[in-house]
Amino acid sequence: MGYIVIAGQRRIMPDDVRVVTFLDPDGLSFYASLDPPTSRVYQGEQRPYIFPRRLPQGASGVSGLFGQGFREAGEGDAIKALAKVVRTVVLHHDGNVSSKACFATLLERGYSTHFMIDADGTVYQATDVADMALHAGGVNQVSI
């Protein structure tokens, strides 16, 4: 039985969906690949791979890396708070032969993503959905 990670919580996926997360020994992880854990130098510029995702202006609270503390005042439910922020799914075709190759390319270029899908349908989750990956320019904050 597979799962994905949302705000630090494991969410069960259907049995026929193979998922490998950043928590798994054979997983691809933007957290484990970073030294220091939130930045990289790309073309001479220090650049984070992953940012805490922030709540909309006017709402209180802020996420932490790896989905810790993502709460809206009075709500106490990280998933509900996250649902108020994420409203877009961005799909990319990267031209790589595998998720591992895509991951290596993203690391090299100073980018990140939440999910990658191999040709056999295996889903790789490399970042908690509660954290913001760098993959979609001006809509990173509101997208996975």
Between 49 and 102, name the one with better pLDDT.
102
- For the chain, the average pLDDT equals 78
Q: Is the peptide bond before 25 cis (omega within 30 degrees of 0)?
A: no
- pLDDT, one tens digit per residue, over 98-125 is 999 999 998 888 889 999 999 999 999 9
In this prediction, residue 32 has a pLDDT band, given cuts at 50, 70 and 90, of confident
- Across 130-142, average pLDDT: 85
Confidence of residue 33 (pLDDT cuts 50, 70, 90): low
Residue at token pair 């510029």: 45
Quick one: average pLDDT of 31-39?
60
- Beta-sheet strands, E only, within the chain: 3-6, 9-12, 19-21, 40-42, 45-47, 50-52, 115-117, 123-125, 131-133
Question: In this structure, what token pair is assigned to residue 92?
Answer: 């990319």
> Whole-angstrom Cα distance, residue 111 to residue 64?
19
Backbone angles phi, psi at 133, to 5 degrees: -90, 155
